[in-house]
């Protein structure tokens, strides 16, 4: 779909991000993720964004396309886009006008930031004011796998320069996942239970074993509204317990204090770079750790998030390596409107 407005054009397409290996987590298994790509063209420059829609989110392809082509959105954009537009002001305006729709907002917001960077002839990092040159550890995610599948995934990741892994767990085969990993790799790893744990005593015992085995952090062990079990687990361990599902947006940060040591920030959860920047600043101010994560986006979405990686403690931006058609997806950026 291509829509022409007096000063700009927007192109919106549905794409499928195909997993290299079927991806299994506590929520289930999937072979692909639906995505919506959008491209904004203004004054001879182009900005590209991506919304990814894993099936556990309420957002749909149709919903994202309807949002990105809506009259309300374009009424606001038409009034806002100029040579010195502010992506933050546009984000705040749209967020107030149309609640929810976080993946669609993320696609639009990253496209706006990229467009502004091109207009000002800066890199995205420069435009965002990220001056740190820190190279933070980047994880490669291993979904729940057999030992042979895990071996194949580790080899693929190591061939592509990864030396830090995120092991997905579901509360059922966790001992096997750990044993398989330790038989195959001596590299550090993180664990993401995706809310799959329930028994607190078992979680403490197993997490202590994880800690002794080289685990660096544990992400979202219990159900997202739980604070008590998470707080007790956190107090029992030396390694950080990080909130993912429990922390979507900046307003959630205060509620997870005392139960988690840090947060996983994702553009798709918080609506893009504008709020992700604010979340990082707020979290750091409270002494919380920050992990910049993804929902298996292509290089379009993960590349935007990468601009914030130097100011976080860890990055989980492995989408381009988890999907097999990344090269095809990024061609979208080069298409002419």
Q: Would you tell me which residues interact with Mg ion (CB under 5 A)?
A: 192, 219, 244
Strand 8-25: give its sheet, edge to edge: 2-4, 8-25, 28-42, 45-53
Q: Output the smallest distance, CB 207 to Mg ion, in A.
A: 16
Residue (95 or 192) nearer to Mg ion, CB: 192
Residue (180 or 192) nearer to Mg ion, CB: 192
Residues 6 or more apart whose CB falls under 8 angstroms from that of 84 comprise none
Residue (192 or 306) nearer to Mg ion, CB: 192
Half-sphere exposure of 26 (CA within 13 A, CB side): 22
Q: Output the smallest distance, CB 210 to Mg ion, in A.
A: 16
Q: Output the smallest distance, CB 30 to Mg ion, in A.
A: 15
Instruction: State how far the alpha carbon of 59 is from the alpha carbons of 52, 131, 295, in Å.
Output: 9, 34, 13
Instruction: State how far the alpha carbon of 290 is from the alpha carbons of 57, 82, 110, 227, 243, in Å.
Output: 22, 33, 20, 18, 10
Burial class (CB in 10 A: 0-12, 13-18, 19+), 142: buried
Q: Output the smallest distance, CB 237 to Mg ion, in A.
A: 18
Q: Output the smallest distance, CB 44 to Mg ion, in A.
A: 39
Asked whether 291 and 263 are in contact (CB, 8 A), the reply is: yes
Residue (219 or 226) nearer to Mg ion, CB: 219
Q: Output the smallest distance, CB 293 to Mg ion, in A.
A: 6
Q: Output the smallest distance, CB 35 to Mg ion, in A.
A: 18
Instruction: Tell me the residue ranges of DSSP E strands in the chain.
Output: 2-4, 8-25, 28-42, 45-53, 140-142, 165-168, 189-192, 215-219, 241-243, 262-266, 289-293, 314-315
Residue (295 or 307) nearer to Mg ion, CB: 295
Residue (130 or 302) nearer to Mg ion, CB: 302
Residue (125 or 195) nearer to Mg ion, CB: 195
Instruction: Report the phi/psi class of residue 100: left, alpha or beta, with left for phi > 0 and alpha for psi in -120 to 50.
Output: left
Structure tokens at 288: 């919380």
Using only the alpha carbons of the chain, give its radius of gyration.
20
Q: Output the smallest distance, CB 52 to Mg ion, in A.
A: 14
Instruction: State how far the alpha carbon of 36 is from the alpha carbons of 107, 159, 196, 262, 300, in Å.
Output: 8, 30, 29, 30, 11
Residue (28 or 122) nearer to Mg ion, CB: 28
């Amino acid at each position: 779909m291509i829509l022409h407005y007096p000063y700009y054009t927007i192109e919106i397409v549905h794409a499928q991000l195909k997993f290299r290996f079927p991806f299994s987590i506590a929520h289930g298994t999937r072979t692909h993720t639906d995505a919506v790509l959008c491209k904004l063209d203004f004054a001879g420059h182009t900005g590209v964004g991506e919304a990814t829609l894993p099936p556990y989110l309420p957002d749909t392809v149709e919903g994202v396309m309807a949002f990105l082509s809506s009259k309300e959105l374009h009424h606001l954009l038409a009034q806002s886009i100029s040579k010195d537009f502010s992506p933050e002001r546009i984000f705040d305006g749209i967020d107030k006008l149309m609640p929810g729709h976080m993946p669609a907002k993320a696609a639009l917001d990253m496209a706006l930031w990229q467009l502004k960077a091109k207009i000002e002839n800066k890199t995205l990092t420069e435009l965002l004011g990220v001056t740190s040159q820190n190279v933070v550890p980047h994880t490669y995610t291993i979904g729940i796998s057999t030992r042979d599948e895990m071996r194949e995934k580790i080899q693929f990741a190591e061939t592509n320069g990864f030396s830090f892994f995120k092991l997905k767990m579901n509360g059922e085969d966790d001992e096997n996942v750990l044993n398989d990993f330790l038989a195959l790799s001596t590299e550090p790893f993180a664990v993401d239970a995706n809310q799959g744990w329930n028994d607190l005593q078992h979680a403490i015992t197993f997490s202590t074993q994880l800690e002794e085995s080289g685990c660096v952090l544990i992400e979202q062990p219990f159900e997202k509204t739980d604070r008590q079990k998470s707080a007790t687990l956190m107090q029992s361990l030396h390694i950080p317990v990080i909130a993912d599902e429990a922390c979507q947006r900046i307003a959630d940060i205060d509620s997870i204090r005392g139960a988690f040591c840090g947060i996983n920030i994702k553009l798709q959860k918080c609506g893009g770079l504008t709020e992700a920047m604010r979340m990082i600043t707020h979290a750091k101010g409270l002494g919380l750790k920050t992990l910049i994560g993804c929902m298996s986006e292509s290089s379009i979405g993960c590349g935007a998030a990468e601009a914030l990686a130097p100011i976080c403690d860890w990055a989980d931006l492995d989408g381009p390596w988890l999907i097999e058609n990344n090269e095809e997806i990024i061609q979208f950026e080069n298409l002419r409107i």
